[in-house]
Amino acid sequence: MIKPSKPDNEAQRLLALQRYQILDTPQERSFDDLVTIATALCGTRMGAVTLVDQDRQWFKARQQLDACETHRDISFCAHAILTPDQVMVVEDARSDPRFSDNPVVVDDPHVRFYAGAPLLSVEGLPLGTLCVFDAAPGHLDSSQLLALTALSRQVSLVMELRRYAHEIQQHMTDRAWYEQRLAEYNELLEQQNADLAEQSRTDPLTGLPNRRAMSAALEAAVRDADGQPRATAVALLDIDHFKTVNDLYGHATGDHVLSELARLLRAHFAGHGLAARYGGEEFVVLMPDTPLATAELQCDFLRMAVADLPLGLPLTISTGVAAHRHGDAIEQTLARADAALYRAKGEGRNRVIRAD
């Protein structure tokens, strides 16, 4: 095991950490929620908001982790703060000489995969990390790295909000100062809430709405303002042989393909539909006030446009389209579109199949 060195600015870093008055404080939901989002986005079982003190790392929030602190010498995060401008990723700790015989690798919780995004003070000093980890080796794609970095900024923002609140309590007697700081606090809080709301609804790679946002849109689209049923069509589409694209051209090219398809979807359905990333290489399109035959035709036009994308590699999509039926649950409509997509793949791909 290689013990982590200390940053050159260690003294200033520790002073900055103390100013937040956060060490050894009770759990707070705002931090717990950010850890929950981080582990869900990165697909890990464990995660934490970790603050690196002089001789220990202390967890302000943690998921699936019993200890509230560990010694700094065995801390992955103490290594991560040495490169505060990037996310530190350890795909398999057993093959990394820094951690192969680390107690948390050899013994419980048997950490194998780790990714930590540094938490920075307003002066840019690394205070700790937002980290995710698991007992199995792992990997983060570019969109997950971007999301983890964005969430680490939110943790730092929540810490700033706490510091502002503490200062406000100390200066209650000065009304002018209090009113000024309260306005700043409310502005920061509104910014955090807006950022979190946007992150919870938007896919970070493509900029399209995500599955959660699409589910809400579907619920709203199947009825008009008076509660009457609308002729709404739903399409599920999948990039054919996308794994081969990643294997032959690399994940960066795969991400570019996803982004370009998202751009085409936005243009193709602008003003008369909503496209979202449903997961992986699968997308969903909502077409309100659209009969099934028209939706099928629009999807076929999209299929031909995808084949003409100037990507430098062959690309096709398979699509299943279904009309929402009055009385059905949204999940039933999606399941029918998914069954039609499965048929499209089974019949040779690069085609549009509509549900019965």
The one-character DSSP state at 95 is G
The Cβ of residue 13 has, within 10 Å, a number of other Cβ atoms equal to: 21
- Residues 196, 160: Cα–Cα separation, whole Å: 16
- β-partners of residue 115 are 89, 132
Find residue 321's DSSP bridge partners.
235, 354
- Nearest residue to 237 (alpha-carbon basis) of 276, 200, 201: 276
Measure the CA–CA gap between 157 and 166, rounded to whole angstroms.
Answer: 14
DSSP 64: S
Q: Which of 28, 184, 260, 281 is catalytic?
A: 281
Q: Which of 298, 315, 217 is nearest to 260 (CA)?
A: 315
Is 123 one of the catalytic residues?
no
- Measured between its terminal Cα atoms, the distance across the chain in Å is 61
Instruction: Give the three-class secondary structure for 78.
Output: helix
**Residues designated as active site:** 281
